[in-house]
Amino acid sequence: MGNIPSSNNYSERFPLDTYSEVLFRKTKNRRLYEVTNTWSAEYCLLRRTSCELELTKITRNNHEEEVFISIHDHTSSHAKDDFDFRVNMKVEESLLVANVSVDGPRSTQQLPERKIAMAQGGVLKSSFFLYDGGDTDRKGLVIILREKRCDDDEVLPYMITVKHYFVAACSSQGVSVVAKIGSNSDGGLNVEIEKPRKHPKGELLKMFDDVKGKENQNNGNVPMMNMSGQQNISALLSAAGYTNGDYNNSIIFRRCKFWLKKRK
């Protein structure tokens, strides 16, 4: 469906069905020594905001740049079932340093890391966070993709993609939003955020089941994937190279940290 304009202020509504829509906004503000660009998506169900995704890029006069992404999924019944995802990124030696934190209900699952060798060279590492609303009125999946030039935990990624998939019981359609952040030759950050994409509810629910079903499988194959086209979720799910972790603790990479906090 294309990318959101990166310069001017922008607003557009994306209907999912009769009772659901996504409101997308882009704003740009200048204040003293910094410029702030913000992209936001509000997932509205039955005329109420149910989930919010926000990406903020801050550029300072010394050319230092940072990107912040947050996803807040708030249920209608209990605050303890809310899901909060946050990531901040900056550039160091033309590569990305990122910290990720996830705070969710007990049902939140942090699945083992997976990796795929890319056709153009390098490796794609993926992390998955699967959650539901406790009363099963909605489900969501956050995927973090990190493109690296080699399969070495000491090497930082040059591109990070965050994908959010969301489906609710009251809507006939699910939705996804994708944001890509990469380093540029000037030592700054390039940001691309795609317009919302509709998905049949059954298709997304099956994908969520596939994610859970592949959790304990390791077939020893690392398939090749052409990253120039649209990524194949089934290829990601069948990838080998898992790092099995305890869901109640952090999985920590060099300068790329993941924190998962579960509520009791």
Per-residue pLDDT, 221: 31
Q: Name residues whose C-beta falls within 8 Å of residue 254's C-beta, 6 or more positions apart in sequence.
A: 153, 154, 156
pLDDT value of residue 154: 82
Which residue in this structure is represented by tokens 């069948």? 238
Phi, psi of 150, deg, nearest 5: -155, 160
> Is the pTM above the cut of 0.75?
yes
Model pLDDT, residue 153: 79
- Reported as a single tens digit per residue, the pLDDT across 51-109 is 999 999 999 887 789 999 999 988 656 566 788 888 889 888 888 988 888 887 777 88
CA angle 91, 126, 144 (to 5 degrees): 55
Domain ranges, ordered by start, for the chain? 10-262
Amino acid identity of 116? I
Q: According to the model, what pLDDT value does residue 83 have?
A: 85
**Phi, psi for residue 15 in degrees, rounded to 5:** -65, 140
- Give the per-residue pLDDT at 67: 94
Low-confidence ranges of the chain (pLDDT < 50): 1, 216-255
Q: What are phi and psi of 6, to 5 degrees?
A: -95, -10
